[in-house]
């Protein structure tokens, strides 16, 4: 059992900057945990503390059942793969992969056996005598992975390992990584700022912002039930639309009145959650796939009048960029067979069951969750 547990972990750098604020994270044995967040939010710092490359200011990191705060990196029995794989240029692929084993004084026969087996698993057995400069980016990436795998570590730590690959290779390598994890079942922490990687790879995702883990949950839970406005806006392409406005109760039903006085009648199920917010400024969130054009004005007032700015047909769907009466920009993605053109007037119906209501502010709490 190799769970990795971060408890109240804080990192204050020498210049007094607090990069990681009180992170708590339980990564289960065999779990693939993704930490995702924008540049500078503290992902690498967190990973480096687990690896032992960065001192932990306060809190504890445990790997398996021991606290590793004072254990040097080489004795933590974990392998880290970085973005710039840092292969030794003067060594062959075989030597690069064997290096860590030799350092740990593995018998020669076992080194050869492990390197060959891993190379075969990664499909690089034909490259073992080459130097890194004679490899493509994707092949180098595989060698870096191989170097981590041969050691059979207790856990893998990945820091944006695919970001140097081109878009297509990134997608195929992503799928290979997932298959590899299914096979090896090694506990993994994977850092990325790419939401597609996070959604596709993670058993669970930790969304980080400003040194704080904002939410930890399965990919679909994060998507369907974002804990706050930051999480809601970070995952989803195109992102969730946000409208500022006011909650008003009329005839015992909550309404959301946008700044341009467009009214959205909210679902009955939100009533009890919104009573404390009557007449307060709030933010309504709606994903692009929950907006659709209607031809005649719907009487119940769940329609945003807008003008079409840009139409982007993507084949499986069409993204439509719109501007509301008050000049607010928002995006809908619609059935590709519906015809819409730039400068059209449009009435966009809101799927009221899919609305989220947030408190004001960048990390305003989602109060529409139960």
Between 13 and 88, whose beta carbon lies closer to ligand ATP?
13
Give which of Mg ion, ligand ATP, none residue 39 binds (C-beta under 5 to 8 Å, depending on kind): ligand ATP
CB of 123 to ligand ATP, least distance (A): 29
206 binds Mg ion (CB under 5 A): no
CB of 185 to Mg ion, least distance (A): 26
Between 47 and 258, whose beta carbon lies closer to Mg ion?
47
CB of 55 to ligand ATP, least distance (A): 11
Interaction pattern, residues 6-45, with Mg ion; x per rule: CB under 5 A: --------------------------------------x-
In the complex, the residues that contact ligand ATP under the rule CB under 6 A are 13, 15, 17, 19, 37, 39-45, 193
CB of 300 to ligand ATP, least distance (A): 44
Between 92 and 163, whose beta carbon lies closer to ligand ATP?
163
CB of 24 to ligand ATP, least distance (A): 17
Give every strand in the sheet of 66-67, ordered side by side.
18-27, 4-12, 58-63, 66-67
CB of 85 to Mg ion, least distance (A): 15
Between 179 and 196, whose beta carbon lies closer to ligand ATP?
196
Residues in 39-98 at the binding interface with Mg ion, rule: CB under 5 A = 44
Between 43 and 170, whose beta carbon lies closer to ligand ATP?
43
Between 114 and 174, whose beta carbon lies closer to ligand ATP?
174
Give which of Mg ion, ligand ATP, none residue 295 binds (C-beta under 5 to 8 Å, depending on kind): none
Give which of ligand ATP, Mg ion, none residue 193 binds (C-beta under 5 to 8 Å, depending on kind): ligand ATP
What span, in angstroms and rounded, lies between the C-alpha atoms of 149 and 98? 11
Between 38 and 301, whose beta carbon lies closer to ligand ATP?
38
Triad 335, 301, 293: Cα angle to 5°: 15
Question: What does each C-alpha distance from 123 to 16, 84, 130, 146, 186 come to in angstroms?
Answer: 46, 21, 14, 10, 20
Question: What does each C-alpha distance from 235 to 95, 223, 225, 227, 229 come to in angstroms?
Answer: 41, 7, 11, 12, 10
CB of 23 to ligand ATP, least distance (A): 11
Give which of Mg ion, ligand ATP, none residue 274 binds (C-beta under 5 to 8 Å, depending on kind): none
In the complex, the residues that contact Mg ion under the rule CB under 5 A are 44
């Amino acid at each position: 059992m190799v769970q990795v547990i971060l408890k109240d972990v804080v990192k204050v750098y020498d210049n007094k900057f607090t990069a990681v604020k009180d992170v708590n994270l339980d990564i289960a044995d065999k779990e693939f945990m993704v930490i995702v967040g924008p540049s500078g939010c503290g992902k690498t710092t967190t990973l480096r503390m687990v690896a032992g490359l960065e001192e932990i200011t306060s809190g504890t990191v445990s790997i398996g059942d021991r606290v590793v705060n004072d254990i040097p990196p080489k004795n933590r029995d974990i392998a880290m793969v970085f973005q710039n794989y840092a292969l030794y240029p003067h060594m062959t692929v075989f030597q690069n992969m064997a290096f860590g084993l030799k350092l740990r004084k593995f018998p020669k026969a076992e080194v050869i056996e492990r390197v060959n087996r891993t190379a075969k698993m990664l499909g690089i057995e034909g490259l073992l005598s080459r130097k890194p400069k004679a490899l493509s980016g994707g092949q180098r990436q595989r060698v870096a992975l191989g170097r981590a795998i041969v050691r059979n570590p207790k856990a893998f730590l990945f820091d944006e390992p695919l970001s140097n690959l081109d878009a297509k290779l990134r997608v195929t390598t992503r799928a290979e990584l997932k298959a590899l994890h299914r096979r090896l079942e090694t506990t993994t922490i994977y850092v990325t700022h790419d939401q597609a990687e996070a959604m596709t790879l993670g058993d669970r995702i930790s969304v980080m912002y400003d040194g704080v883990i904002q939410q930890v949950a399965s990919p679909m839970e994060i998507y369907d039930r974002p804990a706050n406005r930051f999480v809601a806006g970070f995952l989803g392409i195109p992102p969730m639309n946000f409208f500022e406005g006011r909650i008003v109760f009329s005839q015992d039903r909550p309404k959301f009145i946008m700044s341009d006085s467009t009214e959205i009648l909210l679902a009955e199920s939100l009533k009890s959650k919104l009573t404390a917010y009557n007449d307060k400024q709030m933010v309504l969130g709606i994903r692009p796939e929950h907006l659709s054009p209607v031809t005649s004005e719907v009487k119940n007032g769940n329609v945003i009048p807008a003008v079409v700015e840009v139409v982007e047909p993507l084949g499986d769907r069409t993204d439509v960029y719109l501007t509301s009466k008050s000049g607010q920009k928002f995006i809908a993605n619609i059935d590709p067979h519906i015809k819409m053109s730039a400068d059209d007037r449009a009435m966009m119906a809101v799927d009221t069951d899919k609305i989220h209501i947030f408190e004001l502010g960048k990390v305003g709490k989602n109060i529409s969750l139960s």
